Amino acid sequence: MIAPHGGRLVNRTLEGDMRGEWLARIGGWHKLEIDYERVVDVENIAMGIYSPVEGFMCRKEYEAVLKEGRLTDDTVWTIPIVLDVDKDDIRGDRVVLCYKGRVVGVMEVEDVYRYDKEEMAKYVYGTTDVRHPGVERMSRMKEYLVGGKVWLLNRVETKLSKYRLTPKETRVLFELKGWRTVVGFQTRNVPHIGHEYVQKAALTFVDGLFINPVIGRKKKGDFKDEVIISAYEELIRHYYPKDSVVLVTLHMEMRYAGPREAIHHAIIRKNYGCTHIIIGRDHAGVGDFYPPYAAQEVFQRYPDIGITPLFFKSFYYCRKCGTVVNERICPHGDEYRVNFSGTKLRKAFQQGMDDEVRLLVRPEVAKAIQKYKQPFVE
């Protein structure tokens, strides 16, 4: 099976007697309240999803990732994993991380430092425009970053946690299924027939398909997490061969960082055990902030990433061909094309399905979405 990124799966989850000992010791330590997005970062570090990262990044690691797209040991890594704080939030060399008053984990404080938000935005998002949802969120971050290794004591369960697996668990699962090659599919949307097209095209060449929707904070107008899961369950139930697909959730906020986030997504799926990852048009992009194929071209800069990207160009439904195609295999003109559009699909589920939209979504998927009175993030 493919090696984890950096050569090993990180495990910073305290269990058994050791967990009990730490819980008994932390009563007098300073407590720091963190938001849910940082909670899942702690969990993803501890469970090996972010391997080889072991904690929130100290200044040297942060600057290396920001400017070079690599950790200080030259391992590919493109998204800073950071915890923002006020100057007076950190006291002592260990801090108890809490969410809504409940202990989540412990951080070993190694570094507290100021950072330049504009510089971070330029490197990570390629823009300082606050219309970009990632830049807007960053503008509200606190003025300091704290770095250090973390230990997880308690996971925060949600109604979708039953779909969540650790990389250790997915690797065992792939082994039991006899999958030697696995293609990962990143998504933040409900599936349309175009998604099905690229997934099945990739599945033709590998043993298994790993559908891994991002569960967490998204921008206004995106489909809600539970809607995405329900839609995919129906698609898999009715249109995929049995035992060819695994549906597992990735609990992490969408950053909409385009090329940098595409590399980040690939690394995470490599840790889960995927040998390949599907990278489509405008992967992890938003609006018109990135060129359509920037997320594919960025892989040229990281030939040592250790997972094989499968690139798909723009595709559409051709009325003449009667199926999903792309420009390389379809000779027909624009008058036959029905383009896939997230905006079009959202409007359809708000205002009513027309004949064109019915060509783009399986009826079982449409029915699953229509069960929800408000399927969108508000």
Please provide the DSSP assignment of 105-165 as one string: EEEE--EEEE--HHHHHHHHHS---TTSHHHHHHHTS-SEEEEEEEEE------TTGGGB-
Region 161-175 average pLDDT:
97
- The answer to whether 357 touches 341, Cβ cutoff 8 Å, is no
pLDDT band at 265 (very low <50, low <70, confident <90, very high): very high
Q: Does 11 participate in catalysis according to the annotation?
A: no
Note whether 151 and 56 are within 8 A (CB). no
Q: Provide the 3-class DSSP secondary structure of residue 212.
A: strand
Give the integer Cα–Cα distance in Å for 46 and 48: 6
The catalytically annotated residue of 155, 188, 255, 269 is 188
CB-based contact 208:377 (threshold 8 Å): no
Report d(CA 167, CA 127) in Å as an integer: 33
- Specify the domain boundaries for CATH 3.40.50.620 within the chain: 164-370
- 71-128 confidence digits (pLDDT tens): 999 999 999 999 999 988 998 999 999 999 999 999 999 999 999 999 999 999 999 9
pTM: predicted TM-score of the whole model, two decimal places: 0.95
Domain with CATH 3.10.400.10 in the chain: 5-152
The percentage of the chain sitting over the pLDDT mark of 70, rounded to a whole number, equals 99
Please state which CATH number belongs to domain 164-370: 3.40.50.620
Q: Dump pLDDT digits (tens) for 20-65.
A: 999 999 988 999 999 999 999 999 999 999 999 999 999 999 999 9
What's the rounded mean pLDDT across residues 9-23?
A: 95
Q: Please state, in angstroms and as integers, the Cα–Cα distance from residue 179 to each residue in 230, 323, 370, following that order.
A: 25, 29, 35
- Work out the average pLDDT over 282-298: 95
Element (H, E) at 350: helix 342-351
What's the rounded Cα separation, in Å, for the pair 272 and 210?
Answer: 9
Give yes or no for a contact between 272 and 209, defined as CB atoms under 8 angstroms apart. Answer: no
Q: Spot the catalytic one: 11, 189, 281, 326.
A: 189
Instruction: Say how far apart CA 23 and CA 67 lie, in whole Å.
Output: 38
Instruction: Specify the higher pLDDT residue, 168 or 350.
Output: 168
Q: How confident is the model at residue 355 (pLDDT cuts 50, 70, 90)?
A: confident
Asked about 271 being catalytic, the answer comes back as no
Average pLDDT over residues 152-172: 95
What pLDDT was estimated at residue 362? 94
CATH value of 5-152 in 3.40.50.720, 3.40.50.300, 3.50.50.60, 3.10.400.10:
3.10.400.10
- Could you give the CA distance from residue 211 to residue 255 in angstroms, rounded to a whole number? 19
Going by DSSP bridges, is the β-strand pair 208-215/308-311 parallel, antiparallel, or unpaired?
unpaired
The pLDDT value given to residue 378:
81
> Which pair of tokens denotes residue 131?
């219309």
User: Quick one: pLDDT at residue 341?
Assistant: 73
CA distances from 41 to 65, 222, 234, 313 (A): 17, 21, 30, 32
Short-list 167, 149, 200, 142, CA closest to 14: 149
- What is the share, in percent, of the chain residues with pLDDT greater than 90? 84
